[in-house]
Amino acid sequence: MARLPASVDDLLETGLLNQWYLVARDTEVGNKPVALKRLNRDIVLWRDSNGTVNCLEDFCPHRGAKLSLGHVREGTIACAYHGLQFDGQGICRATPPTPNSGFVGKRLATAYPCREAHGAIWVYFADGVTERDPAPLQFPDEFESGEWSGFVDIRAFECNWQLVRDNQFDPMHGSFLHVGTHILDAGRKDAELGFERQDRGFVVWRKNQQGVNLDRTWLTHFEGSGFWAITDLPYPRKEGGGLGRLFHYPTPIDRNTTLVWNYRMQKMSGWKRDVWRFLYKAHGSDRGAIVLEQDRAALAGIAVDARGRENLLQCDLGVSHIRRLYRQAAEKQFAELTRPADAAQ
C-alpha cells in the first residue's frame, strides 16, 4: 500500500488523491499483465475473460513479488513466484502451493477502480484512509454530446506534473516557444490577460485578440475527476480549418515524470467531420507532436523549486490561479488524511 504523504508539498508532488486519472491508452492493455507507475504507485492492469480491465497494486500479498511478472489465468492474475491468483477486486481465488488455504476468498490485494472511456483507461486513486465510494467519472460536455470528434495524444515528459499544469494555463508561451510550428506564431506577442471566475473554475483570455492563437483558456473542475484545462485553437486550412479545442490535465507518473495527454477535438458532422479527421491525421498530428516536444524540452530544464526564485508577470495570471486552487485542494486533503481518528467522531 502506498505511504501517506508527509506534507502538503509532498502530496502536491505526486498528485491529489481521491481522483480519476488517465493512465494508458485502451489499446495498451490486453490479456497480459501491464506494469505501470502512476502517482508514484506501482500498479498492474490486465483484461479478464470478458475483456474488462482490472487494476491492482503491483504487489503480491503472499511474499511481495510483482504481480506484473505473472500471467493471466481464467481471468485472474497469477503471481509468477508461487502461483497465487487474484481477481480484479483483489480477492484471492487460488493458492496452488497450499490448496484450499484460508486465504482463498479473502480480499488481500489492493484493488483500484478502473474504467474505459474515450480511447483511454482511467484509474481512481483513493487515499486509503477516508472511506468513500469513487466519485463518478465525469467529462466535459463535448465528450458526451456526440457533436465533437477528435484524437488523444499520450506521451511522457521528464518533469514534475505541476510544471505541465503551469504550462497549460500559460497562453503567452505559444507566441515564443512555438514560433514556426502550427499557427502558434500568429498574432501579437504582447497581451494583458482578462480573468473571470466561473461556476466550475475560471477563464483567462487575451484582451487584444481572439481566435488567432492560444487566446482563451478555461478551467472546469469535476469533483473526483480533476481540473480540466480547455483551450480554443484555430486550425489552418490545410489541417482542416475551423476552431479546435484542446482538453487536458496531466497524470503524475512519479516526482520527476508526467504522463501528458491531450484530446484535440472539433465540432463537426457528416462529411465535414470525415474531411477534418483525414486532414488532421495527414498534417495536424505531426505539427501538434512538434509543439508537444518543444514543451517537453523546455519543461525538462525547470526544477519545481524554481518557483522560489520566480518573478511572475501579469500574463502569468492563469498560472498563479491554478497553483492556488491546487494548493487549497491539497491543504484540505492533507488535513483530512492527518486528522486524528477521534476528531472525526
Give the predicted TM-score (pTM) of the model. 0.93
* Domain residue ranges of the chain, discontinuous segments joined by +: 19-125, 141-329
> Is the predicted pLDDT of residue 110 greater than 80, yes or no?
yes
> Is the predicted pLDDT of residue 51 greater than 80, yes or no?
yes
Residue 3: its pLDDT value, please? 77
The values of phi and psi at residue 261, to 5°, are -130, 145
pLDDT in tens, 162-199: 999 999 999 888 888 888 776 677 778 888 899 999 98
Q: Cα separation of 60 and 270, whole Å?
A: 50
pLDDT band at 230 (very low <50, low <70, confident <90, very high): very high
CA 49 to chain centre: 27
Alpha-carbon dihedral sign for residues 57, 61, 66, 72: negative
Burial of residue 136 (number of CB atoms within 10 Å: 0-12, 13-18, 19+): exposed
Residue pair 56/110 in contact (Cβ under 8 Å)? The answer is: yes
Helix H or strand E encompassing 227: strand 226-234
Measured CA angle at 235 (ends 229, 236), to 5 deg: 160
Q: If DSSP codes are grouped into helix, strand and coil, which group holds residue 228?
A: strand
Residue 345: its pLDDT value, please? 46
Q: Cα separation of 190 and 197, whole Å?
A: 23
> Is the predicted pLDDT of residue 343 greater than 60, yes or no?
no
104 versus 291: the higher-pLDDT residue is 104
> Is the predicted pLDDT of residue 339 greater than 90, yes or no?
no
Q: If DSSP codes are grouped into helix, strand and coil, which group holds residue 232?
A: strand
Residue pair 242/25 in contact (Cβ under 8 Å)? The answer is: no
DSSP letter (8 states) at residue 101 = -
Residue 84's contacts (CB-CB under 8 Å, 6 or more residues apart) are 60, 62, 78, 92, 94, 95, 96, 103
Closest CA to 154 of 338, 51, 25, 60: 25
Its CATH class, for the domain covering 141-329, is: alpha beta
Q: What is the mean pLDDT of residues 200-208?
A: 93
* Alpha helices, H only, the chain: 8-14, 141-144, 161-168, 174-177, 270-279, 285-300, 317-338
Residue 342: its pLDDT value, please? 54
The dotted CATH code for 19-125 is 2.102.10.10
What grid cell was written down for 92? Answer: 484471492
Q: Which residues of 199-217 are buried (b: 16+ CB within 10 A; e: fewer)?
A: eebbbbbbeeeeebbbbbb
